[in-house]
A and B are shown apart, each in its own frame.
Chain A
Amino acid sequence: MISENNNGLGAKRPPHIGRASDLEGRDRLLYRTLEMIPATLAWGTIIGSIVLSYFLPLWMAFFIITFDIYWLFKTLYLSAHLRQSWKRMKYHMKIDWQKKLSDDALSYGHLKHMIIYPFYKEEYEVIEKGIKALASASYDSKKMYVVLAPEERAGKQALAIAQRLKERYASTFGEFYIASHPADLPGEMPGKGSNIAYAIEKVRVDILDSQKISYRDVIVSAFDIDTVVYPEYFGCLTWHFLTTENPYRASFQPVPLYNNNIWEAPSLSRVVASSGTFWQMIQQERPEKLATFSSHSVSFQTLYEIGYWQKNMVSEDSRIYWNAFVAYDGDYRVVPLSYPVSLDANLAPGFWRTALNIYKQQRRWGWGVENVPYVLYNCIKNKRIPVLDKMRVSFTQLEGFWSLATNPLLIFLLGWLPVTIGSPQFKASVLAFNLPIFTRNIMLMAMVGLVISAIISLSFLPPRPKDAGRHRYAFMFLQWILIPFTITFFGAFPGLDAQTRLFLGKYMGFWVTPKTKTRK
């Protein structure tokens, strides 16, 4: 018996719906309809703006001004959260969490950390960087169970890399397990979700059950392969796990910093990556809006009860949160750690290749919109979720994806439409002359948020490599001027692309962001 509180595998398993075709009859029709909502809202806004600009430019101008002001205050409001998150993260990074655990008389010797690294064709050096960081973390490495999960479809090379790492690091950790994920298992979509779901069940049987380890004592960290932990990550995670009320109804979310190769990545990549970091930092201050993203941690017990990650969809990192939210009838949350992990910013040979990879990565993240029909569907079907929670999560999801796909376009492109295609009468009005001036001025005022972003991004930079001149700091600051461009071309467009695909039923597969070796 593992634990008297353990239910069976998947005892609370929510429906693992990947797409409408996983359902039958009216449910299928309902889910398909819900899949079409995000793109309908986004395209409705864009087309509506164009039509309104032509036929009723005056009303469109009112809308644009109202929206500009809303956007300005939203920027200021979010900047306040970002600043607070920054202070909290700096504070957390200074804490000796091991000492804090002792000072707070928290018993944690019974806890094990299972760290899963799924990978495909990444190189040895990329994977080793993360393992090395685990080994040098300020936490008892014997309490860490490292799980390498290579994809069988990646060929013998991936397995050979895993074996090589095991030979080198097996003695460092409590366990070092390799779970090679077979190709083409029935009901699976190739990707991270199916891989780690397979790996974790193997580990359960081969290690946890065989060593009679309580599932409640295991904290699973599902990491992207390029995740490099900061020294106190596990101390911080353990402290939060032990001090959170009912930690089995919570996921634990670090802040993803894309620092591994930040000095080598082009400015475009840096800005896009840092923007993602800032969004996560803002959300850390608004935990009720936070869903798990990228690398995160959660109790094994919880994963076991809800049947692990979905194997039939792309965005398993955020879906696992929604799975738990549905499984526990809304009684589930994300605990923000305000402590970073470091990952790779997009870096490919050549600017255009990098730009293309950024676009594809952003589109994959934008494909998180596949959670919208899932959330809405379960809010409709699950009567036990409190109504207010249903309204909150539904609005947050819809507003979030609508904003991603439309707000940059409204600010930077559609705002000029009434002046361009409006009637000559409108073009001769004082309002028409003022509209571009107001939009420009409001954008300039919103630059305050950018300056804060620039300062914060500088404060998290890893040490400057010797071959990078001091002037690079200036570029790291000035790069933020690219924001209007990046949030349009690497935010709105890939977001709209993903939503349109979902609308049309052209479902995306898992695209593995290429990781390249960087300087050691």
Chain B
Amino acid sequence: MRPMSKTKRRIYFVLFFILFLLVTPLVILYALGYRFDFAQRIVVTERGGVYVYTSLPGTNIYIDGELKETTGIFRREYLSQSIRPGRYFVRAENEGYRSWEKYVQVHAGRVTSVYPFLVPEVFDFEAVPEFIDIVSVGTSTPDQVSNPLYDQYILLFEDSLLVLDTATTSLLSDDLDVEPVGDNDVSEEQTLRRVFGKIQVTYDSLEKRFYAESFSRGDFLPAYFCENEQCVNPFAFLEVTSNVLHFDFYPGRDDVIVFAVEGGGVYAAELDKRPQQTVVELYVSSQGNDVDFRILGRDTLVIRDGDVILTTELTR
């Protein structure tokens, strides 16, 4: 038995070579988002995509009201990469969470990414007592002593909005750079800047406005910086009526902030102001106190309501 004949080998080679020449441009065009579209008169149209990611398993993802995906432990995303350019309504629902929805614009050849901000309907706050009971040896009645955990939390609040320094930043969050700065036209006392990755959020206390700014390479802007093809950087994404006492990025997200305002509330707000911009109440004082907060570690929200300290874990 002889090795495969040259003729047979040549046939294989030519066959695979022709297939390679035919398939490669088709695959590249497909990967770029081009699709055959016999419904329209145009044979080939360029499509765009929507990418939805949430870390919460069991989230139902709808596009224009149609359920597209239910996320699981391993599959936490939905990608549609062959939809026609246009405006789509994305909705994410998960039991026990406030539903999230957003109108997004899909452009040809581009994928619009959204990261639903799903907030629990009810937060489970845990109070940290100021004093704790200690039963000494030989006594039957407990002594009340200061709770070191409470004292530690109180220390977090010693800084104020205007006097943040680098020492306090390490207590706040691993991911954040915090620096009190002054822009050319705004005095140091009037602004506070926080940076997470390539996104910077600035609060202007005179205008009572939050601004978002992107520093991505090559002038790239996240989709929420743009509306009707018009991109603005920086742009104001939130205006508040009361003075802001403190703000920070929501743990693990560069597109959501948490802020406390005078008059007793802690809120979370998306930077993405495309409708519907999510602005939710996380905590409101029942006593009418000014409420302040700090984010500790990777996901602990610490609330100070007067002398009361409360904590809860925020989902990332």
Residues of A at under 8 Å CB distance from B? 61-62, 65-66, 69-70, 73-74, 76-77, 80-81, 84-85, 87-88, 91-92, 284-287, 336, 338, 423-425, 428-435, 438
Cβ–Cβ < 8 Å partners of B1 in chain A: 87-88, 91-92, 338
Partner among A65, A286, A435 whose Cβ is within 8 Å of the Cβ of B24: A65
A71 to chain B, nearest CB (A): 10
Given contacts A430-B81, A434-B81, is CB(A425)–CB(B49) below 8 Å?
no
A61–B16 Cα distance when bound, in Å, is: 22
A287–B13 Cα distance when bound, in Å, is: 16
Would you call B218 and A424 a contact (CB within 8 A)? yes
Would you call B110 and A429 a contact (CB within 8 A)? yes
Given contacts A69-B20, A77-B16, A424-B218, is CB(A430)–CB(B31) below 8 Å?
yes
Would you call A62 and B217 a contact (CB within 8 A)? no
Residue of A nearest to B20 (CB): A73
A81–B79 Cα distance when bound, in Å, is: 39
A373–B216 Cα distance when bound, in Å, is: 47
Would you call B12 and A430 a contact (CB within 8 A)? no
Would you call B4 and A285 a contact (CB within 8 A)? yes
Of residues 87 to 113 in B, which have CB atoms within 8 Å of A's CB atoms?
A: 109-113
B233 to chain A, nearest CB (A): 13
Cβ–Cβ < 8 Å partners of B217 in chain A: 423-424
A425–B109 Cα distance when bound, in Å, is: 11
Q: Which 5 A-B pairs have the closest CB atoms?
A: A424-B220, A430-B33, A434-B31, A73-B16, A424-B216
Cβ–Cβ < 8 Å partners of A287 in chain B: 3
Would you call A433 and B3 a contact (CB within 8 A)? no
Cβ–Cβ < 8 Å partners of A92 in chain B: 1
Q: How large is the interface on B (under 10, 10 to 19, 20 to 34, 35 or more residues)?
A: 20 to 34
Cβ–Cβ < 8 Å partners of B16 in chain A: 73-74, 76-77
Q: Is B23 an interface residue (CB 8 A)?
A: yes
Partner among A80, A336, A425, A438 whose Cβ is within 8 Å of the Cβ of B3: A336
A36–B263 Cα distance when bound, in Å, is: 73
Of residues 1 to 19 in B, which have CB atoms within 8 Å of A's CB atoms?
A: 1, 3-4, 9, 12-13, 16-17, 19
B240 to chain A, nearest CB (A): 30
A257–B20 Cα distance when bound, in Å, is: 33
Q: Is B155 an interface residue (CB 8 A)?
A: no
Would you call B113 and A428 a contact (CB within 8 A)? yes
Residue of B nearest to A88 (CB): B1
Cβ–Cβ < 8 Å partners of B282 in chain A: none
Would you call A69 and B24 a contact (CB within 8 A)? yes
Could you say which of A66, A70, A73, A285 has the most chain B C-beta atoms within 10 Å of its C-beta? A73
Would you call A423 and B110 a contact (CB within 8 A)? no
Of residues 32 to 72 in B, which have CB atoms within 8 Å of A's CB atoms?
A: 32-33, 47-49, 51
A336–B3 Cα distance when bound, in Å, is: 8
Cβ–Cβ < 8 Å partners of B12 in chain A: 77, 80
A480–B27 Cα distance when bound, in Å, is: 28
Partner among B3, B9, B30, B109 whose Cβ is within 8 Å of the Cβ of A429: B109
A346–B20 Cα distance when bound, in Å, is: 38
Q: Is B28 an interface residue (CB 8 A)?
A: yes
Cβ–Cβ < 8 Å partners of B110 in chain A: 428-430
A474–B271 Cα distance when bound, in Å, is: 54
Residue of B nearest to A424 (CB): B220
A355–B237 Cα distance when bound, in Å, is: 57
Given contacts A65-B27, A424-B216, is CB(A430)–CB(B47) below 8 Å?
yes
Would you call B49 and A430 a contact (CB within 8 A)? yes
A91–B1 Cα distance when bound, in Å, is: 8
Would you call A433 and B81 a contact (CB within 8 A)? yes
A373–B84 Cα distance when bound, in Å, is: 55
Q: Other CB < 8 Å A-B pairs besides A286-B9, A428-B113, 6 of them?
A: A77-B12, A92-B1, A286-B3, A430-B32, A430-B48, A431-B31
Partner among B13, B30, B32 whose Cβ is within 8 Å of the Cβ of A77: B13
Query: 11 A-B residue contacts at CB 8 Å?
Result: A69-B20, A73-B16, A80-B4, A80-B12, A85-B4, A338-B3, A428-B223, A429-B110, A429-B111, A434-B30, A438-B27
A92–B13 Cα distance when bound, in Å, is: 26
Given contacts A424-B218, A428-B110, A429-B109, is CB(A88)–CB(B28) below 8 Å?
no
A422 to chain B, nearest CB (A): 10
Given contacts A428-B110, A433-B111, is CB(A88)–CB(B220) below 8 Å?
no
Contact with A along B145-176 (1 / 0, CB 8 A): 00000000000000000000000000000000
Partner among B4, B31, B48, B49 whose Cβ is within 8 Å of the Cβ of A438: B31
Cβ–Cβ < 8 Å partners of A433 in chain B: 49, 51, 79, 81, 111
Cβ–Cβ < 8 Å partners of B113 in chain A: 428
Residue of A nearest to B108 (CB): A430
A415 to chain B, nearest CB (A): 13
A83–B16 Cα distance when bound, in Å, is: 16
Would you call B81 and A70 a contact (CB within 8 A)? no
Given contacts A77-B12, A430-B49, is CB(A284)–CB(B3) below 8 Å?
yes
Of residues 211 to 227 in B, which have CB atoms within 8 Å of A's CB atoms?
A: 216-218, 220, 223
Cβ–Cβ < 8 Å partners of A73 in chain B: 16-17, 19-20
Cβ–Cβ < 8 Å partners of A66 in chain B: 24, 28
A435–B216 Cα distance when bound, in Å, is: 22
Residue of B nearest to A335 (CB): B3
Would you call A435 and B31 a contact (CB within 8 A)? yes
Of residues 178 to 233 in B, which have CB atoms within 8 Å of A's CB atoms?
A: 216-218, 220, 223
Cβ–Cβ < 8 Å partners of A286 in chain B: 3, 9
Would you call A69 and B48 a contact (CB within 8 A)? no
Cβ–Cβ < 8 Å partners of B19 in chain A: 73
Residue of B nearest to A58 (CB): B32
Given contacts A62-B28, A66-B24, A77-B13, is CB(A432)–CB(B111) below 8 Å?
yes
Would you call B4 and A81 a contact (CB within 8 A)? yes
A57–B12 Cα distance when bound, in Å, is: 33
Residue of B nearest to A67 (CB): B24
A428–B214 Cα distance when bound, in Å, is: 15
A374 to chain B, nearest CB (A): 26
A60 to chain B, nearest CB (A): 13
Cβ–Cβ < 8 Å partners of B13 in chain A: 77
Could you say which of A286, A430, A433 has the most chain B C-beta atoms within 10 Å of its C-beta? A430
A80–B11 Cα distance when bound, in Å, is: 12
Cβ–Cβ < 8 Å partners of B216 in chain A: 424
Cβ–Cβ < 8 Å partners of A336 in chain B: 3
Could you say which of B30, B31, B49, B109 has the most chain A C-beta atoms within 10 Å of its C-beta? B31
Partner among A69, A284, A428 whose Cβ is within 8 Å of the Cβ of B111: A428
